[in-house]
Amino acid sequence: MVRCFVGLFIPTEIKEKIIKIQNQIQKLPITLKLVEAENLHICLSFLGEVKEEKIKNICEKLDSICKRYNKFEVEISGIKLIPSENYVRVLALDVKSNMLESIRKDVEKEIGGDSKPLHLTLCRIKKIEDKKETIEKIKKIESEVGKFEVEKISLIKSTLQKSGPIYTSLYDSFLL
């Protein structure tokens, strides 16, 4: 069994801007777990534990989906409080792209898995001190990260370790 998801990794120049936002969040009175720089990604669908013999079929379906799309730009900006401002468990950046949203829906329909609206997770929240004031500070953080071109969608293996997950690309499917 292979624990995996369909998604895409973030280019280095965009990661550097995201890390600056994470550093600002880390200074706030929040107990949290940051997503490691090397693990920053956009998940289109979490597949969970998949039997080895099904991987080839998933890759073929991913190719079929990606052949329908040309390369396109994604914009990352704006902090999201997930699931809501009243009960924050995750801080994420908003991912804006109609094309990527279409691919996410195709992946959900044709490959399956657990698919959520587009976002890029910054950290998981364990506890927030002075919630109202801290959330106001979060909203004021400069979160205009920028745009980057999406050239491929990947099937990504997630290996859980005590130090955190290790993500490795099992297969890359390129857009036109």
All domains of the chain, ordered by start, with CATH?
2-174 (3.90.1140.10)
Catalytic residue among 47, 119, 120, 157: 119
Catalytic residue among 6, 41, 121, 173: 41
- What pLDDT, on the 0 to 100 scale, is given for residue 163? 83
User: Would residue 119 show up in a list of annotated catalytic residues for this protein?
Assistant: yes
- What pLDDT, on the 0 to 100 scale, is given for residue 162? 87
- What pLDDT, on the 0 to 100 scale, is given for residue 164? 84
Q: Residue 21 has which token pair?
A: 């936002």
Q: Is the pTM of this model over 0.85?
A: yes
User: Would residue 69 show up in a list of annotated catalytic residues for this protein?
Assistant: no
CA distance 174 to 176: 7
Q: 10-residue block means of pLDDT along the chain (176 residues)?
A: 97 96 97 95 97 97 98 97 94 98 98 96 95 94 97 97 92 97
107, HSE (Cβ side, Cα atoms, 13 Å)? 31
